[in-house]
Amino acid sequence: MKKFTFAIMVLLISAASVFGQEMPLKVFISVDMEGLSGVVNGSDVSRNGKDYDYFRVIMAEETNAAIEGAIAAGATEIWVRDSHGAKNNLLPGMLHTKAKLLKGVIDTPKNMMEGIDETFDAVLFVGYHARAGTPNAILEHTSNGNVIDFSINGVSLPEAGYNALIAGLYNVPVVFLSGDKAVCDQVTGLFGDIETAAVKEAINDAAINLHPKIAQQKIYAGVVRALNNIDKYTPFKLSPPYTMVLKVRNEKELVAGVRKSGEGEFTFTSNDLLEVIDMFNKMK
């Protein structure tokens, strides 16, 4: 039976090649706001900020640039995860009609990666930011303002890092990221040869920003390049057991299984990565 199934798969692949048809390409896009072109202040990405509605439009436009790049590269199914704050920022009517949108908070460790599974071929990060404490970075933080550092197996991780590890559980590689120059440099150091689009560069707490339309062109082109070369990317993984070291400004009450390893520092080890991420969420 296995030989027969394999033979059928070979025939299908061969037929697709002969008739010039591409195999289906399913893409997952996680979208944050701090790394959008033009964003420099917390109020820009806060629901109470006077420019928040403007940056919701920019968020949709940069997401659409990634979607259009994915379509140009042959994507047949695209999921978008609204990943900022309460996960209720993207304007559905502004999103490309070929994409499916996942909005709202879901109480699982996947969080910004909710919806990812082994059926996807690639992950794209749009509007991402650098980890807490990164110099010359715009609105750098790791999940919330209480986190000083979060590492697994000695690797200090930005949100892009632990979200990529979640994708790696399902053998899905992150192939593209957009944000400021600091986060682009950071993920290149973590993942190696990943396609990035730096839409701004920080100078202390200010930034030199690309025009939104130019930023969108960079995102589109970067996504096309990434997906056209998808075979060169590998999922980001660390080997179990996974040991978390979390450093925070203000301590929370200990959760069972977590050990206090220093002032404002907590450690937890598990063979289950999602359990580690869950403990991070409870103690941050």
Catalytic residues: 141
Q: Are 70 and 124 in contact (CB under 8 A)?
A: yes
Confirm if 70 and 27 have CB atoms less than 8 A apart.
yes
Which element (helix H / strand E) includes 260?
strand 259-262
Question: How far apart, in whole angstroms, are the C-alpha atoms of residue 103 and residue 32?
Answer: 12
Alpha-carbon span 237 to 192, nearest angstrom: 12
Helix axes 212-228, 52-72, angle to 10 degrees: 30
Burial class of residue 225 (count of CB atoms within 10 Å of its CB; 0-12, 13-18, 19+): middle
Residue 267 three-state SS = strand
Token pair listed for 45: 């990405």
